[in-house]
Amino acid sequence: MLLNRRQLLKGIVGSVATSFMASPVFSQAETKSKIRAVAFDGFPIFDPRPVFVLAESLFPGKGKALGQAWRIRQFQYQWLRALSGQYVNFWQATEDGLVYAAKQLKLDLTIEKREQLMAGYLNLKTWPDVIPALEQL
């Protein structure tokens, strides 16, 4: 069964809320404090498509393939490094994924192009359905 981002967000929040309410801490927390924050992974929240549009403009005809290979490697690096106890921050895993994907596709990733693509991650917007889904919480 495939889930869209909205279903994923609702499921995550529902699971957190259900497990929290089922715990003995809930009755104590209800009188002492309210939930102040809920954390989410960035993948279902932020829309990376503008970065991949930029990739297409920098590597015409190859940007889509670069974006796909980059995204896969970025995700793999985060998981594999965390699981193996060799954690690096998101920025480093993202850059490493970009370098790997460019080499895999035999693209000339200059320092300038690498910096442009990486800078795209500093200004990501949320997916269109994220704000309405969060407001429903």
As a whole number of angstroms, the distance between CA 83 and CA 125 comes to 28
Three state DSSP letters for 58-117: HCCCCHHHHHHHHHHHHHHHHHHHHHCCCCCCHHHHHHHHHHHHHHHCCCCCCHHHHHHH
What is the DSSP-derived secondary structure letter of residue 118? Answer: H
CA dihedral 36, 20, 38, 68 (to 10 degrees): 180
Residue 108 annotated to the active site? no
Name the phi and psi angles at 82, rounded to 5: -65, -45
8 A C-beta contact, residue 113 and residue 47: no
Set 41, 96, 108, 129: catalytic member: 41
Residue positions annotated with a catalytic role: 41
